[in-house]
Structure 1
Amino acid sequence: MKYRGITLSLIICSILSVLFLSSELYAEERLPIPFLEEPSPTFNSIDIGFSLKEYSWYFPNDGPFSEVELPGKLEGLKAILPKGICFGMCLTAGLSYLNKIPLPKCKDPYLLPEVWKKTIYNAQYEGVNLYAGPLGWWVIPKITTRLYLTPKRIIAELESSLRSKVPCILFVKLKDTKKNHTVLAYGIEVENEDIKILVYDPNFPLEERQIEFKRNINTGEVETIDHYYETIFYMWKIKKIVEIPKGTYRCNTDSGRVEIIKISTTPVSGGTRIDFRVRNNSSFKKWIQFSIDYTVSGKLWSDVGMGLDNVILEVGEVKEFSYVFRIKDIKRVKLKIKNRYTQDVIGEYWINL
């Protein structure tokens, strides 16, 4: 009887402990996912009449990366915020800051593409593009355009950009945890050898933070003396707004060579006029060829050349072209750019007519 009583007590204690643990786990699952309740700080250093405190987009900084990637995988496009949540927060803060575009106070812990589709329009960065896709606007990084520089060169680039009121996204190493992180640089203060880079840090949105350096006046070499940030690895310059018509989005492209930077459509007598602007981003002169692909009764057709067969672009050159598409009842076409020599496809762009 004695052992039976002990056994019964053990069983009851086990059941109670399981029930208690289950209730705690269930309660933990029901806890709300944290998000930023307070606005970001006002940027007072550059007087452009704009404040992130008023127009900030609130991103959580702890959303599961897989949840963010999922919509992109389903659509066969690159995922939104592929560089991490802090990168996306700086990106959108920079978009708001540079282009004065009001963004809503989004408290959704997972960034749904439908939200982007309704709020972010016509934005291009040097290093990062936002393009419209089937589900909305997607962040597509152009890795080859980021700047790998020595500390001396980075400070020189930052000083030039920030004095021209061009915000920059910085990839840094945190001093305490040694982890990689992203911040937005929006201002600079220089006094003799002391340099302060004013930054927006997504991890501390209520603090006006800065990265401090000492510069040798004779050699120009710089040394980080900051308490929070140890190293700047590389940077993206936030550049400008580019007009991209609704419904147009990039499929596959080699953006480091030749790319279309503007597309527009206009109804004309007998068809639709397509106007597009092309830029040569490579280090070499390019001889390119255009084509328009479309489908009629399930069969693929292509207008190769489009009357623009001998197009030569010098390094950095921008040219504008027009083409009238005259096939009736076609709602969407694909504009292709090819290397005239190799016939390799450089870029593909869907256009809704």
Structure 2
Amino acid sequence: MKFVDEAYIDVAAGDGGNGCVSFRHEKYKEFGGPNGGDGGRGGHVFAIADPNLNTLVDYRYSRRHEAQRGQHGMGSDMFGAAGSDVTLKMPVGTIISDAETGEVLFELLRPGEVIMIAKGGDGGFGNMRFKSAINRAPRQKTPGWPGERRNLKLELKVLADVGLLGMPNAGKSTLIAAISNARPKIADYPFTTLHPNLGVVRVGPEQSFVVADVPGLIEGAAEGAGLGHQFLRHLQRTRLLLHLVDMAPFDEDVDPVEQAKAIVLELKKYDKQLYEKPRWLVLNKIDMIPAEERAARIKDFIKRMRYKGPVFQISALTREGCDELVKSVYQHVREQQLAEQPHVETDPRFAGEPPT
């Protein structure tokens, strides 16, 4: 299925039911009094984060979502029934914003999270609400309140711990297939990847992280060139970026250093916060470099790149160096997760004692 990460929808909550004007008509009760009930509330529109979804494609073909209106009030003190609610399932990581103003309204960040995106209108009052010692036969009623109506933009930013970036044919799809359960399309031509791929990398029992592979970037991506610019947003929520570099390009005239610098420049142009994220260099396809030349070429690359962070030498095809990379990435992600958890102060009097 084609990956769709943007959609526009119209939602309308149900209107409230109208109140009722009615009087009690029973034998031997000449002045039975008012008994008109209130109208029911209109149905709400909810959004729920479904971890089983990874695309917004359903909302490309189903734009209008409307909840049921509330039932009108009736005589004999009967209130109208509330309208049925509508629940829209969306992928985790969906951002819901106003289509006209661009204001971000909601974000679905946790599986199972439920939010109300359109509130149903309250029901109107029946004439029994207006009964008093002075006004014993009221004929007033109020109409139901209208439900909220919104034009919304849905935007999906995948929730991945690690993002892969690099030029087309850098080997990102091969790497994600080698270390995770993802099975992206792999071929020996540029732009094989046309949509983001997510994979779960398992390091050990209950030890895993999520990695995202986005289409390759080219020079000018921040201004809209190529395919990768459409998916740079998916890297904004990652904790770590792995910058893959093709150390053995098909064209001998291509300089890997210049390609790597071009990617860094595009990140800086697109989003400064994304540019400042932790970024590790992963030098791929070292199996295609003669063993006696590897050390010199890698040393020359790092020197010209003026890079001082972690550097990993791998071959995604033969999986050489992948285990070391995966363990280091998991350690970094785990440290980030622990640092983001709120610190809870404990009473020193009860330190080490089991709870009662």
Short-chain TM bin: under 0.3
Q: With structure 2 as the length reference, what TM-score do the two structures score?
A: 0.21
Q: With structure 1 as the length reference, what TM-score do the two structures score?
A: 0.21
The structure carrying a bigger strand percent of its residues is: 1
Which fold has the larger relative contact order, with Cα–Cα distance below 8 Å and residues 6 or more apart in sequence?
2
Which protein has the larger Cα radius of gyration, Structure 1 or Structure 2? 2
